[in-house]
């Protein structure tokens, strides 16, 4: 077999890929291909680094190594093409793809990890993605130490639950459910060990959190694109944050960071925090998070409308607190009926 030949003798065409996709999108299948895509991407990058190192040492890799490296690239492209076709079958997938900075793989990743039936508000998605600052991941060691301390102080398991739930940043009933049901949904007895395990559990989806980081980076890269809606949100927010930072508006927050974390005195971060300012990296992260959370709010609205044919419940700050600064999703014309639902 020639090394430049396709891995498959008869590669699947885009039309054939389209024919293999069913009428109902399988979220587990989508997740499999998204995970596989990113795994292959990491293998390819690692292989590329090894190839460059070999070339620099005057020991370039042979033809078979190049063939394998090329296979990674071709397989990535096939998976991306397949996910592209799958996303075109869904309203929210096609809408997400229309956003500058969001490609078929990220669009598919959102659909794979978020079950809109479990997310009537965007707050559910923010928490699931690790974007809720009230959440805290204790881990096994801290969870055991904190709960042992509560029990040693005279608390029962029942009275310890709301205390630990408040520390983690979740509802007591949620923590109780985690402690009294196994992975298969079968009830188990509440014990100190099961409660400790529940308290130690990561309160967000790690893969979704990484995906949101990738989304944020995409928006940063597209912030100078006139069509980059969320990139411009990031850029505008960054300018606001920088102006506030220059005025010293974040002095209290800087002091809190200094008091709660060990920061090397030789770092740029220390130089900023020590004079009551947030370092550039902190400002960047805050601004990027605003753009990502707004995008997720719009994604939730589109997905909910596509699923139920009506707008989701209004955000708390709009419905209860009377805030009027609601930003509608861009490209609403791609979602049948959404613009009309907004009175447009």
Cβ atoms of 257 and 274 closer than 8 Å: no
Question: What single string gives the DSSP state of each residue in 114-136?
Answer: --GGG-SSHHHHHHHTT--TT--
So what's the pLDDT on residue 24?
Answer: 75
Q: Mean pLDDT in each 10-residue stretch from start to end of the chain (344 residues)? A: 47 75 83 94 84 75 76 89 94 97 97 95 94 92 95 94 93 94 92 95 94 97 96 97 96 92 89 95 96 96 96 66 70 95 84
Taking residue 282's Cβ as centre, other Cβ atoms within 10 Å add up to: 19
Q: What is the pLDDT of residue 325?
A: 67
Residue 321: per-residue pLDDT: 40
**How high is the pLDDT of residue 57?**
76
* Local structure of residue 290 (DSSP, 8 states): H
CB 104 within 8 A of CB 87: yes
Q: What is the pLDDT of residue 139?
A: 94
pLDDT of 326: 79
User: Looking at residue 324, what is its pLDDT?
Assistant: 52
Taking the C-alpha atoms of residue 41 and residue 45, their distance in angstroms, rounded to an integer, is 6
Q: What is the pLDDT of residues 141-200, one digit of tens each?
A: 999 999 999 999 999 999 999 999 999 998 999 999 999 999 888 999 999 999 999 999
| The pLDDT of residue 60 | 73
Inter-residue contact 272 to 69 (CB < 8 Å) = no
Q: How far apart are CA 120 and CA 100, in angstroms?
A: 26
pLDDT at position 3 is 40
Helix, strand, coil content of the chain in percent (nearest 5):
65, 0, 35
The DSSP bridge partners found for residue 181 are: 187
> What is the full DSSP assignment across 46-64?
HHHHHHHHHHHTT----HH
Q: Contact at 8 Å (CB) between 179 and 198? A: yes
The answer to whether 166 touches 177, Cβ cutoff 8 Å, is no
Residue 101 CA to residue 174 CA, distance in Å, equals: 35
From 12, 29, 17, select the one nearest 88 (Cα to Cα): 17
pLDDT for the residue 10: 65
Contact 127, 135 (CB under 8 A): yes
């Amino acid at each position: 077999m020639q090394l430049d030949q396709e891995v498959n003798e008869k590669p699947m065409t885009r039309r054939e890929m389209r024919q293999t996709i069913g009428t109902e999108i399988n979220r587990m299948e989508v997740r499999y291909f998204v995970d596989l895509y990113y795994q292959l991407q990491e293998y390819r990058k690692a292989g590329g680094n090894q190839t460059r190192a070999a070339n620099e040492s005057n020991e370039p890799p042979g033809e078979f190594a190049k063939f394998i490296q090329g296979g990674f690239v071709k397989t990535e492209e096939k998976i991306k093409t397949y996910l592209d076709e799958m996303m075109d079958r869904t309203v929210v997938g096609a809408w997400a793809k229309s956003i500058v900075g969001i490609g078929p793989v990220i669009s598919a990743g959102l659909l794979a990890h978020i079950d809109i039936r479990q997310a009537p508000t965007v707050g559910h998605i923010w928490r699931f993605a690790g974007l809720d600052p009230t959440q805290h991941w204790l881990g096994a060691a801290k969870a055991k130490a904190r709960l042992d301390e509560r029990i040693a102080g005279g608390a029962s398991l029942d009275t310890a639950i709301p205390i630990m739930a408040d520390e983690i940043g979740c509802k007591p009933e949620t923590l109780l459910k985690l402690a009294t049901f196994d992975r298969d949904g079968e009830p188990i007895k509440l014990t100190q060990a099961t409660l400790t395990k529940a308290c130690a559990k990561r309160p967000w989806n790690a893969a979704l959190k990484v995906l949101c980081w990738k989304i944020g980076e995409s928006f940063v890269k597209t912030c100078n694109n006139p069509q980059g809606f969320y990139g411009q949100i990031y850029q505008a927010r960054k300018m606001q944050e920088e102006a506030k930072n220059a005025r010293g508006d974040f002095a209290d927050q800087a002091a809190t960071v200094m008091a709660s974390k060990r920061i090397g005195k030789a770092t740029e971060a220390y130089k900023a925090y020590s004079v009551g300012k947030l370092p550039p990296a902190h400002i960047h992260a805050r601004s990027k998070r605003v753009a990502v959370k707004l995008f997720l709010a719009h994604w939730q609205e589109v997905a909910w409308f596509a699923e139920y044919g009506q707008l989701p419940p209004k955000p708390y700050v709009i419905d209860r607190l009377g805030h009027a600064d609601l930003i509608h999703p861009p490209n609403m014309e791609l979602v049948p009926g959404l613009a009309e639902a907004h009175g447009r």
